[in-house]
Structure 1
Amino acid sequence: MSKGRLDALLDGLGIKVVPVYRRRAAAQSHARGTMHEIRNQYGDGHLVFVLRCIKQTKNNRDELWSETIEAVSDILSQRTDWAIERAGDVLDAFDHIPLGVLRGKAVAAVRGRYGQPFEP
């Protein structure tokens, strides 16, 4: 799948990738490289399910950050049965998982580890 085909896949999900020098808006991401790597490693179906878990849940739809996408992918790659047997339950569960808060805590922990001040 070329860069154009990735964009077509994302269009179907209502997601647009924008350059890093542009501010992200709702349903936009800077994470083209991350999504490309996940798709290459696990396939289109996995990437689509990962992005649906983020974008199609009421509290996380704008959390299309590379760190978040990678973390959700890591979890779902360990439990491939969830996408097949329990997809609806997984999507419902993501309505209650505050991905933005968790990402903020992870970023703060990494910055603290390297002596950088936390910036909310």
Structure 2
Amino acid sequence: MAMNLAGLWVICYLFRPAVRSTLWVIGVSATFIGLALLLTNITHYLGLSGVLHAVFAYWALSEALEGRKSSWLLVAGVVGKVAWEGVYGASEATSQLIEASVATQAHAVGMVVGLLMALLHYVRNHHLQHNS
């Protein structure tokens, strides 16, 4: 759990998001991740890693869509990491560090939810700007 909280702190330090929008992303992503994990064989999920993937993906894509070109590297990085986990599984070192199996399904769902939320937010904002 401490590792997840440290991850959240790093994400917030990196992107400097507003508290309200961060809580919104956390709440929506946690809900979708929880519902999606009901469709998997995972019986116990105690971490926040899926939510961290959602928050990271959301802010990385949001920044990229707003014109920060370097953020596309962050988007590619999170997509590459989740794809790697999907093909090769999680790192054995990570499993040993947390003394549990890594919930790669939660990472994948979180990333997809974060990316979709960022895309929907961008489209909604730009649609409203063009109609004003």
TM-score in same-fold range (> 0.5)? no
Bigger relative CO (Cα 8 Å, ≥ 6 apart)? 2
Give me the TM-score of the superposition, normalised by structure 2.
0.33
Q: Which has the higher helix share?
A: 2
